[in-house]
Amino acid sequence: MFKELDPILHSQLRLAVMSLLIGVKEAEFTFIKEKTGATAGNLSVQVQKLKEAGYIEVVKHFKDNYPQTICKLTTNGLLAFEKYVANLKSYLG
Amino acid sequence: MFKELDPILHSQLRLAVMSLLIGVKEAEFTFIKEKTGATAGNLSVQVQKLKEAGYIEVVKHFKDNYPQTICKLTTNGLLAFEKYVANLKSYLG
DNA sequence: TTAATTTGGTTTATAATATAAACTACTTTA
DNA sequence: TAAAGTAGTTTATATTATAAACCAAATTAA
């Protein structure tokens, strides 16, 4: 009847992050922050969770003297997203 | 870019309840409980929230000596569900 | 040159949510 | 009449989301 919804993805902000990354394959923290309208603190926490789940890869380095955090979708992340979308359809009629 | 997701509906169990009610227009508490696999306690709380939001109507009466709770979608509930689904699409590619 | 502001975040505290466990009230069955 | 079942509600706890506070360095302005 109703399929389980992956709780890691069933969160507005984390879903937005994943959705963005599917489009671009790789994005900066600040870019994601602007596109989602999230606060830095909230985004920082949610990025950590996606990383811990193995759904995204996070690389930190310096660019033009400033720290830069880059996020990239993993294969598992893509699969999880696709499954989430498929399962979600069981709720939408 | 990303539309807001109504927090009342962005909950697995509440969304399932709404989804069920859209199909049948009216359902007993126990029927919803079976179909969703929820515990009675959890369902009781979520039904209250949907009622408080004005998304469902709840009528309690007795049937064959037992208390019976019937849930029915309201017009506002249907509109909110439709909007939720539309907004959700901004996340799904 | 040093004080204020900005960048790019993280950590921590608090508010909101979801869930399970315990409880209520009554009915049926043995 | 005692035990078990029906149909829930209430309450306590665990989880989640969010905001506020903080950190380290860079830049700009006085």
Q: Give the per-residue pLDDT at A27.
A: 96
Residue stretches of chain B with pLDDT short of 50: none
Tokens of B82: 């439709």
- What contacts A70, CB < 8 A, 6 or more positions away? A26, A27, A28, A29, A58, A59, A60, A61
Q: Give the per-residue pLDDT at A1.
A: 84
Q: What is the DSSP string of A22-33?
A: HHHSEEEHHHHH
Q: Give the per-residue pLDDT at B25.
A: 80
Instruction: List chain C nucleotides near protein: any atom < 7 Å from a Cβ.
Output: 7-12, 16-22, 26-28
Question: Do the Cβ atoms of A19 and B12 come within 8 Å?
Answer: no
Residue stretches of chain A with pLDDT short of 70: none
Angstroms from A38 CA to nearest CA on chain B: 11
**Which nucleotide's C1' atom has the smallest distance to the CA of A64?**
D26
Q: Is B91 on the interface with A (CB under 8 A)?
A: yes
Q: Give the per-residue pLDDT at B31.
A: 95
Write the residue in A5, A36, A85 that is nearest to B12 by C-beta.
A5
